[in-house]
Amino acid sequence: MTAYTSHDEVQTAMYNILCPGGNVDPVLAGLGVTGVFDWQSVPQNQPYDYITIGDGYEIPQDTFDSAGFLYFPTMHIWSRQKNTKNPSLMINRANQFFNRQSLELESLKSVYSIIYRINWLDGGDGLTLHVAAQYQCYSSQT
Amino acid sequence: MAAKAGYLAVVQINNTTYTTVGGLKTADLQIGTDLYDITTLAGDGWKTKLPGLADYTLKLGGNFDLSDAQQAMLQAAVITVPGLAVDWKIYPAGTGAGAPFYAGTCFIKTEGIKFDVKNEEQVSFDLEGNGAITYSTGA
C-alpha cells in the first residue's frame, strides 16, 4: 500500500544525498560534519559538527486525478566551530543538493525542491550554533 | 442532503473520446441568464426584470502539464486552431454507472500560464459556452 505522504520518500532521498553509501558527503566532511542522523538517533557524545534530519510538515496538493504533496523538511546543522564560515559553506553545499533540484524518490515524481528559509539560531547551551534549513519539496504520484 | 467532497469531480474533454484532463485542481462553472431591467416609472419601488439569453462560463485551473494530451488539446484550441470548439463533461461525483454530469461545448477565451520561481507552474483556461449546457444522468 502506497502511503499518502511524501515524508519517508523525501527524507530517505535527503539522507542518501547527504550520506551516500552511509558516508558523509566528502565536501560536508571536509567542512567538519562528522555524521548525518535521524533527529532521534544521534549517538551519545557524537562529536560536533553533525546534521540531523527527519522532521518537517506537509500540505496535501492533490489534483483531481492524482495525489500531490508539498513537503517542508528541515535539515539541522549543529556546529561548535568558532564562526559561521563553515556552517555557511555547509548550507551552500546543501543548497547544491536541494535548491532548484529534483530528488530521486522511490515511487513519487519529484517536481522540484527549493530552499524555503534558513534560521540561524542559538543552540541553547551557549556553545552550539543551530542552523535550521527548511526546503520546499513538491512531489506527485503521476 | 449531504455535502460532497470537491475531489470527487472529474473533468473530461472530447479528445476523440471523452478523456479526463490531468493535473487540474479547480473547475469553476458559472451558469446564468441575462436579466433586463424593465422597471417603469410608475412602479411600486421594486425592480421588475425580463429574462434574456442564457449563458455559462467554465474556468479550469491546475498544474501546467503539456505532457497531458487533454491539456495539450486545450492549448491547441487557443494557439494552433484559435476558436476550435471543445466538448466537455464534468462529473460532480465521479464517473461511476449512472453518475450525473454537466456537458456542453465551449470556446476557449483565455489560457493563462503562471511561472513562479517559488512554486510549480500553473495553468488556467477560461472557456465560454457555445449553446446550451445540459445536466443529465448516466452514459
φ/ψ of residue A64, rounded to 5: -60, -35
Mean pLDDT, chain A, rounded, equals: 96
Q: Is B138's pLDDT higher than 90?
A: no
Q: Is B68's pLDDT higher than 70?
A: yes
**B20 vs A contacts (CB less than 8 Å):** 64-65
Q: Do B10 and A64 touch (CB under 8 A)?
A: yes
pLDDT of residue A112: 96
Q: Which of A64, A138, A142 shows the shortest C-beta gap to B120?
A: A138
Residue in chain B closest to A139 (alpha carbons) equals B120
Predicted confidence (pLDDT) per residue in B82-96, tens digit? 999 999 999 999 998
Q: Which of B9, B117, B120 shows the shortest C-beta gap to A64?
A: B9
Average pLDDT of A108-133? Answer: 96
In the block, residue with C-alpha cell 448516466: B138
Predicted confidence (pLDDT) per residue in B91-133, tens digit? 999 998 899 999 999 999 999 999 999 999 999 999 999 999 9
Q: Is B2's pLDDT higher than 90?
A: no
> Which residues on chain A place their C-beta less than 8 Å from a C-beta of chain B?
62-66, 68, 111-112, 114, 136, 138, 140, 142
Q: What is the pTM of this model?
A: 0.85
Q: Is B80's pLDDT higher than 90?
A: yes
φ/ψ of residue A29, rounded to 5: -60, -40
- CA B89, CA B23: separation in Å to the nearest integer? 16
Q: Is A1's pLDDT higher than 60?
A: no
Q: Which residues of B51-83 are buried (b: 16+ CB within 10 A; e: fewer)?
A: eeeeebebbbbbbbbeebebbebbbbbbeeeee
Q: Are strands B100-114 and A68-79 parallel, antiparallel or unpaired?
A: unpaired
Q: Å from A54 to nearest chain B CA?
A: 23
B24 touches chain A (CB under 8 A): yes
Cβ distance A62 to A45 under 8 Å? no
Share of chain A above pLDDT 90, in %: 97
Average pLDDT of B37-43? Answer: 90
Q: CB-based contacts of A65: which residues, under 8 Å, 6+ apart? A: A142, B10, B20, B22, B23, B24
